[in-house]
Amino acid sequence: MAESYARIIEYGTKQIPFVLKYSNRKTMGISVSPNKKVTVTVPFHSNYEQVIKKLENKASWISRQIRAFDSCQSPVFVSQKEYVSGEAWLYLGRKYRLKVICGSQELVKMSGRYIQVFVFDKENKARISSLLLAWYRNLAKRKFAERLEYLLHIIRREQIQVKQCFVRHMEKRWGSCTARGNIILNLSLIQASVQCIDYVIAHEICHLKHLNHGKQFQKMLIRYMPDFEKRRKKLENIALLTIPK
């Protein structure tokens, strides 16, 4: 079994933490996971000073990998909403107006270009927030599952194991994946267009096979989504509304 040690290398004014593992492999391997954890695996009895020297030579590449995860996984949010009629809200890339209505039952529904919130007390902002959260979450679960099904051909062709798709509040990332084969998507992504949602899901599917943004990852993403750059730029330019927690 490989032993693990926490270490740090210097790159300019930055410090890059990494985990050093010893194993029976013959050459050094470097991986940067979607959560930006750097893992370095080297053969047993490797010379530590030589390992650090090689890492310093690769520091620029490691830094680029970390920045790549930041650049494609950083939602931009506008300020919190006040939950009053007339406010603009987004769903699947389209803008809708919020209409708060005093009703005999509490529910949220869409009507034309309006998101209607029926609530007992129109001044109860916390309740309006709670109703909107539940509404967005239900829509996100259904739509994300639908889009994952749409991209199932990638999973089958590449023989990738995807166990579950979770919806979470994520302040700094559009999505992530785990070593167990789970995909986690940002709840606020339901406000983006279907094309952008597909890009994020495809991005995470590719990461289940290639943990970094190296050549193999890029080739796989281009193979299945040739216009991913266009979709990514569109996603980066969206200022999403903060969905209530």
Half-sphere exposure of 117 (CA within 13 A, CB side): 29
Structure-token pair, residue 106: 């509490």
Q: How does 137-171 read in b/e, with b if 16+ C-beta sit within 10 Å?
A: bebbbebbeebbeebeebbeeeeeebeebebeebe
What is the percent of the chain where pLDDT is above 90? Answer: 46
User: What pLDDT, on a 0 to 100 scale, did the predictor assign at position 140?
Assistant: 96
Average model confidence (pLDDT) across the chain:
85
User: What pLDDT, on a 0 to 100 scale, did the predictor assign at position 1?
Assistant: 42
Q: Are 184 and 168 in contact (CB under 8 A)?
A: yes
Q: Give 179-191 pLDDT, tens digit per residue.
A: 889 999 999 899 9
Residue type, 80: Q
Q: Are 224 and 202 in contact (CB under 8 A)?
A: yes
Q: How does 236-245 read in b/e, with b if 16+ C-beta sit within 10 Å?
A: eebebbebbe
Asked whether the predicted pLDDT for residue 227 surpasses 50, the reply is yes
Half-sphere exposure of 95 (CA within 13 A, CB side): 7
Q: Residue 195 is inside which H or E element, if any?
A: helix 194-209
Q: State the average pLDDT over residues 202-230.
A: 90
Q: Where are the domains of the chain?
A: 3-72, 76-240
Q: State the average pLDDT over residues 119-148.
A: 94
Asked whether the predicted pLDDT for residue 134 surpasses 60, the reply is yes
The pTM of the full predicted model, rounded to 2 decimals, is 0.70
What CATH architecture does domain 76-240 belong to? 2-Layer Sandwich (3.30)
Q: Give 42-58 pLDDT, tens digit per residue.
A: 888 888 888 888 888 88
